[in-house]
Structure 1
Amino acid sequence: MKFSNTYIFIFTTVVVLICAIILTLASVGLQPFQQANRQKERMTQILTASGYKSIEDPIRFYNSVAEEREVEVLVDGKKEQRQMIQVKLQDNSYCYVFPLKGKGLWGPIWGYIAVKDDGNTIQGAVFDHKGETPGLGDEISTERYAAQFEGKQLFDQLGVFQSIKVVKGGVANSNVDPNHGVDAVSGGTITSQGLETMITKGLEPYIPLFKQIHKKD
């Protein structure tokens, strides 16, 4: 049986439309699950930065210890609302978690840094990326690398904001104060530079808040 060109065209168009509708419905139907997974991952990373690891039910636990707040900061002289998450720790003290976004070698990098209630000492950190080089820049997403940040300090003894330097060749081989420095990723120079920039630019707007927290302490 031979079909006319018109029939073939109409049949093909209908099949394509049906497939497109099915794919659209599937995508829409999966969105709630995808959003839930992203939210779960976000909560897990915030808890990890705060020192809570391997939590069985991160969503329930997060809701029991974390309080999300909007704080007003100055960015380039303009007021902005930024997020801060206050997390209650096991010793009943608190840490404050700050979301960070930056740029690596091949794409976005991001993470969370938790600051203790002295407004100075880092409780912990978590970093992630979209496409950094395997075995090199992607090292920033490992627990081993993030562990370097624990106990580092954002301010020097004079109260001047120093941020955290990501040092190529290692802190031990530099003149950077080890209280304010971590080792860069070996072979991941641009990723390391992006990480340092992300931390500094991401935390600078919170300097007045850090000092306010420090006074309360």
Structure 2
Amino acid sequence: MQRSNLYIVIFSAILTIVLGGLLSGTSVVLKPLQDKQVELDTKKKILGAVMDISNIKDPKEILALYDKRVTSTVVDINGDLMEKDAKGNPLIAEKIDFQKNHNKFKKDVNARPYPVFMYMKEDGSGVDAYIFPMFGAGLWDWISGFIAVDSDLVTVRGVAFDHKSETPGLGARITDTKVRSRYEGKKLFDAGGVLQSVNMVKGEKGLPLDDHHIDGMSGATLTGKGVNAMLKDYFGFYGNFIEKTKAANQPVAEVVEPVEEVEAAE
């Protein structure tokens, strides 16, 4: 039976409203679950930069370990504490969108919040490692990383990289344990305190390199360049925080009062 144009328009409108409502409702219902999954994934990467968690399968155990060993803060480009954003909302390091803040056309590097995560010693006596989140551009799309640095803020403890669409078997190898382990023990600063970062060289030769270079990945030169740029940029952004923290951690030299000489009695 042929329907009038008005019937078709009304039917289409009702169908659109109903389906839109269902999709909207589904999104609202699923959002808390999605948020929890994002939280778990982020905390796994933070912990994964500083320790092996491959044998921990229970999400609750991951979250409990994170709560026990990790604290966080947010700083600005000057290395000073940031407690609120421009709208007055509290800043929580774990909830900062690294990708959104990376886009310099949306937020200038001088106005961005920079999360810092501290992996605490097991006895709670101090910081065992600092973990810095980073974001950059790979060959095809974004790359990201969490770089763990020893409490000296010079030596790399470990890294955890991620990517959206690097080439499997080539640039995608930045997530492989073998490639990630090459960063361990490398130095961010030279003996004079000048930032050198850690650079991946072109090609994969399997040769020992100096404190500021690691072996590359065959066929993935552009991905390697993207990782190099990401580390150099972000350690530059975190530079003031690092310098202030290193200065604050310097032991205070003990002042020894001069001993007055007592004239011997004749």
TM-score by length of 1: 0.88
Separation in structure 1 between the aligned mates of residue 5 and residue 109 of structure 2, nearest angstrom: 65
Name the Cα RMSD after superposition. 2.5
Q: Is the 8 A contact 1:171 1:182 kept in 2?
A: no
Do structure 1's residue 117 and structure 2's residue 121 form an aligned pair? Answer: no
Separation in structure 1 between the aligned mates of residue 123 and residue 246 of structure 2, nearest angstrom: 18
Counterpart amino acid of 1:131?
S
Separation in structure 2 between the aligned mates of residue 134 and residue 99 of structure 1, nearest angstrom: 23
Do structure 1's residue 189 and structure 2's residue 221 form an aligned pair? Answer: yes
Aligned partner of 2:63 among 39, 59, 64: 59
Separation in structure 2 between the aligned mates of residue 201 and residue 91 of structure 1, nearest angstrom: 34
**Structure 2 unpaired stretches of 5+:** 80-107, 251-266
Structure richer in strand, relative to its length: 1
Q: Is the 8 A contact 2:72 2:118 kept in 1?
A: yes
Larger radius of gyration: 2
Q: Is the 8 A contact 1:47 1:53 kept in 2?
A: yes
Counterpart amino acid of 1:60?
A
Per-residue deviation at 1:199?
0.4
Q: Is the 8 A contact 2:154 2:187 kept in 1?
A: yes
Q: Which deviations, in whole Å up to 9, do the C-alpha atoms of 1:90-116 show, x marking residues without a partner?
A: 476510000101011111111100110
Structure richer in helix, relative to its length: 1
Separation in structure 2 between the aligned mates of residue 171 and residue 96 of structure 1, nearest angstrom: 31
Per-residue deviation at 1:185?
2.2
Query: Matched residue pairs, number?
Result: 215
Separation in structure 2 between the aligned mates of residue 114 and residue 121 of structure 1, nearest angstrom: 9
Tell me what 2:43 maps to.
Answer: 43
Instruction: Give matches, 1:158-169, under 5 Å.
Output: 158-169=192-203
Q: Is the 8 A contact 1:170 1:182 kept in 2?
A: no
Q: Which deviations, in whole Å up to 9, do the C-alpha atoms of 1:194-216 show, x marking residues without a partner?
A: 11000000111323433444452
Deviates more, 1:61-70 or 1:81-90: 81-90
Separation in structure 2 between the aligned mates of residue 142 and residue 27 of structure 1, nearest angstrom: 34
Counterpart amino acid of 1:70?
V
Q: Is the 8 A contact 2:147 2:156 kept in 1?
A: yes
Partner of 1:149: helix, strand, or coil? coil
Counterpart amino acid of 2:34?
Q
Tell me what 1:178 maps to.
Answer: 210
Separation in structure 2 between the aligned mates of residue 50 and residue 64 of structure 1, nearest angstrom: 14
Tell me: CA distance 1:114–1:77, structure 2 relative to 1, closer, same or farther (3 Å).
Answer: closer
Q: Which deviations, in whole Å up to 9, do the C-alpha atoms of 1:84-138 show, x marking residues without a partner?
A: 1111144765100001010111111111001101110011100101111122111
Q: Is the 8 A contact 2:207 2:215 kept in 1?
A: no
Do structure 1's residue 14 and structure 2's residue 17 form an aligned pair? Answer: no
Deviates more, 1:136-145 or 1:93-102: 136-145
Tell me what 1:151 maps to.
Answer: 185
TM-score by length of 2: 0.73
Separation in structure 1 between the aligned mates of residue 240 and residue 26 of structure 2, nearest angstrom: 47
Partner of 1:14: helix, strand, or coil? helix
